[in-house]
Amino acid sequence: MSDMDEMDDGSGIVKKFMFLNRKAPHGTVYALEGLEVVLITAAFDQDVSMVFTDDGVYQLMKGIDSKGIEVKDFSKTYRALEGYDIEKLYVDQKSMDARGLTEEDLIVDVTVLSVDEMANLMAEQDVVISF
């Protein structure tokens, strides 16, 4: 987006923004529209973390193919986040284990946290946006 450079709010304030993703993709719109917020936030030079917990970890699955349900496949967008300097992607081990997933199942590199580590990460945020 060519107008992204002008979107900085000009205040110089940098806050810790956390985007909380707890829902699976496609059954609801939150994964897709949540991602759209994160992409816009990239233009504002904030300290952004994306947290995937509970069913949110399913958003990052490899091998997503939405042709059969005739819904736009946005899964590759997670790989584009790095190009927007959104590099802090976290999942928790407990959510992964509960769903039989490992890091090898995911489409992007993530940092895997324990429940306590994720709890502490959440506690230190300035702004948490939930979808």
d(CA 24, CA 102): 16
Give the shortest CB-94-to-other proteins separation in angstroms.
8
Q: Return the exposure string of 46-69: e unless at least 16 CB atoms fall within 10 Å of the residue's CB, then b.
A: bebbbbbbbbbbbbbbeebeeeee
The owner of tokens 């039989």 is: 100
Site pattern 16..55 for other proteins (x: CB under 8 A)? -xx-x-x-----xxx--x--xx--xx-xx-x------xx-
Q: Does 85 bind other proteins (CB under 8 A)?
A: no
Nearer to other proteins, 29 or 80 (CB): 29
Which two three-digit tokens encode residue 92?
């928790």
- Note whether 84 binds other proteins by CB under 8 A: no
Distance CA 47, CA 95 (A): 24
Q: What is the dihedral of CA 39, 41, 46, 47, to 10 degrees?
A: -50
**Minimal distance in Å, beta carbon 63 to other proteins?**
25
80 binds other proteins (CB under 8 A): no
Going residue by residue from 97 to 116, which x/- string records binding to other proteins, judged by CB under 8 A?
------------------x-
Cβ-Cβ contacts under 8 Å for 27 (sequence gap 6 or more): none
Q: Which residues bind other proteins (CB under 8 A)?
A: 7, 9, 11, 13, 15, 17-18, 20, 22, 28-30, 33, 36-37, 40-41, 43-44, 46, 53-54, 94, 115, 118-120, 122-123, 125-131
